[in-house]
Amino acid sequence: MSATKITALFNKRIFWDVNPDTLDIDAKSSFVIERVFERGDVEDVRQCRRYYGDAVIRTTLLNAKFLPLHRLHLASAIIDEPVTSFKCYTLRQSNPGLYPY
């Protein structure tokens, strides 16, 4: 992997709270992959898969602590794993929300 700027690969709106000039996308690959799958569109996910490869994305997403439910299903379809094998799904099941009264 080369020293590529994050704004060249992904849309700036994904990393609105991070300085793109100081972010090392190779050292912080887990952060970048989780953020792209959480907030990115289809083209951003494609760029992420091209840059990191499917093996790195698979291990990162399976160990992610949080993904929105609709993005969890997208990640499940992309890496071809059942939803129940994701860590964020297991954590969500063990911490149910309040009952709607």
DSSP E strands: which ranges in the chain?
none
The CA angle 45-93-74, to the nearest 5 degrees, is: 20
Q: 74-96, pLDDT tens digit by residue? A: 999 999 999 999 999 988 887 77
Q: What is the pTM of this model?
A: 0.84
pLDDT of residue 23: 85
Taking residue 35's Cβ as centre, other Cβ atoms within 10 Å add up to: 20
Q: What percent of the chain has pLDDT over 70?
A: 90
Q: 8-17, pLDDT tens digit by residue? A: 788 888 988 9
Q: 61-76, pLDDT tens digit by residue? A: 999 999 999 999 999 9
Sequence spans of domains, the chain: 6-94
Taking residue 72's Cβ as centre, other Cβ atoms within 10 Å add up to: 20
